[in-house]
Amino acid sequence: MKITAVIMAGGKGERFWPKSRTSYPKQFLSLTSDGETMIQKTVKRLLPIVSMEDIFIVTNENYVSLINEQLPDIPQENILAEPVARNTAPCIALAASVISKKYDDAVMMVLPSDHLIRYEEFYVDTLKRAAKVAQKGENLVTIGITPTYPETGYGYIKFMSADDDELAGAYKVDKFVEKPCLEKAKEYLNSGRYLWNSGMFVWKVSTIMDNFQKYLPDMYEGYLKMKEAAFTATFRETLAECFENFKSESVDFGIMEKAENIYTLSGSFGWDDVGSWLALERINQTDECGNYVTGDVISIDTTKSIICGNKKLIATLGVEDLIVVDTDDAMLICTKDHTQQVKKVIETLRTCNRRDLI
């Protein structure tokens, strides 16, 4: 069966303000020293499994030109522009409509556009195994990450003992759990029964759409309409109409928490969700003082800090655990323990009617 990839690239990346903007979000930024953007890396690491023609990118209308610019080899018809953002369920229905029109049925690997994978061969192996499991019946496969510490910022997947040798390495999912407190996270880590929810899914179009029909029937109707219109002149119009009516819904809540036959395959491929500015010191080399520094920076008595300079010289003196990000029109100065609150700045900008800076 044909294997396709669906890259979800509609995010706003607010936690990476001020570099990430509504008009230029995180997935289009280069956050590593090699100069590649997050979405370029995402596509590149998939090429051992799928060809460019089978990579579909679901994104916001406003980002189509950015994708054309950064990924010129992706066929234009594979760039699926949502008229409005309605979370992941409508996004998946849209991709499914185009893929099923083109290939009837196929395996869909649904992947975020803004994560980092360090061991790409392990990643490819995991996806290949997941595609096999997805094809052996009506299985919904989610990629779980083996936790290495009690992270409280991720959701977790609880799995059951394996009882089917046919699905070697895939475990039936018991339940999905929300971001835990630290105590719970420690319990999960030590139980050997929980994985991090990476937001990567693998299934056949037919399997996921059967589940849409069962759990999100209105959205399934929309899927049928979009499929009918796909590759015709009325596609754009149909999309606008469908998305207008779709409620905002995540596939996790709308399908995964209710469906049967959910399996998880655990991956250990150096996954990083690059969830905040803190990630920069994890995914890049730091200097002897533990600083990650780019641009024109003089750092004196400065330790464990992240300093992203822009055009002007930045001199830091005596600072520790500080994050500094300079851009042409805005600058963030933030302590490490406040990286999750960058959204507060955006809320303030919204309140002050300064949308040009968001």
Site residues (CB under 8 A) for a second copy?
Answer: 18, 298, 300-301, 312-319, 322, 324, 326-335, 337-338, 341-342, 344-345, 348-349, 352, 354, 357
215 token code pair: 């759990």
Instruction: Give the residue with the Cβ less far from a second copy, 77 or 356.
Output: 356
Instruction: Give the residue with the Cβ less far from a second copy, 43 or 306.
Output: 306
Least CB distance to a second copy at residue 357 (A)? 6
Least CB distance to a second copy at residue 27 (A)? 22
Interatomic CA distance for residues 48 and 203, integer angstroms: 19
Instruction: Give the residue with the Cβ less far from a second copy, 52 or 349.
Output: 349
E strand intervals along 10-139: 55-60, 79-82, 107-112, 116-117
Find, among 287, 98, 275, 88, the residue nearest to 200 by Cα.
Answer: 88
Instruction: Give the residue with the Cβ less far from a second copy, 29 or 79.
Output: 29
Least CB distance to a second copy at residue 346 (A)? 9
DSSP at 148: S
Checking phi first, is residue 227 left (phi over 0); if not, alpha (psi -120 to 50) or beta? alpha
Least CB distance to a second copy at residue 246 (A)? 34
Interatomic CA distance for residues 133 and 136, integer angstroms: 5
Least CB distance to a second copy at residue 28 (A)? 21
Under a CB-based contact definition with an 8 Å cutoff, are residues 277 and 292 in contact?
no
Interatomic CA distance for residues 177 and 98, integer angstroms: 31
Under a CB-based contact definition with an 8 Å cutoff, are residues 16 and 26 in contact?
yes
Name residue, tokens 């407190």.
181
Instruction: Give the residue with the Cβ less far from a second copy, 165 or 337.
Output: 337
Find, among 202, 265, 246, the residue nearest to 93 by Cα.
Answer: 246
Under a CB-based contact definition with an 8 Å cutoff, are residues 295 and 310 in contact?
yes
Instruction: Give the residue with the Cβ less far from a second copy, 248 or 335.
Output: 335
Instruction: Give the residue with the Cβ less far from a second copy, 163 or 329.
Output: 329
Instruction: Give the residue with the Cβ less far from a second copy, 186 or 338.
Output: 338
Least CB distance to a second copy at residue 187 (A)? 29
Name residue, tokens 């997805």.
134
- Inter-CA distances, 156 with 88, 170, 181, 186, 231, Å: 18, 16, 12, 12, 38
Burial 179-199 (b: 16+ CB within 10 A, else e): ebeeebbeebbeeebbbbbbb
Least CB distance to a second copy at residue 283 (A)? 21
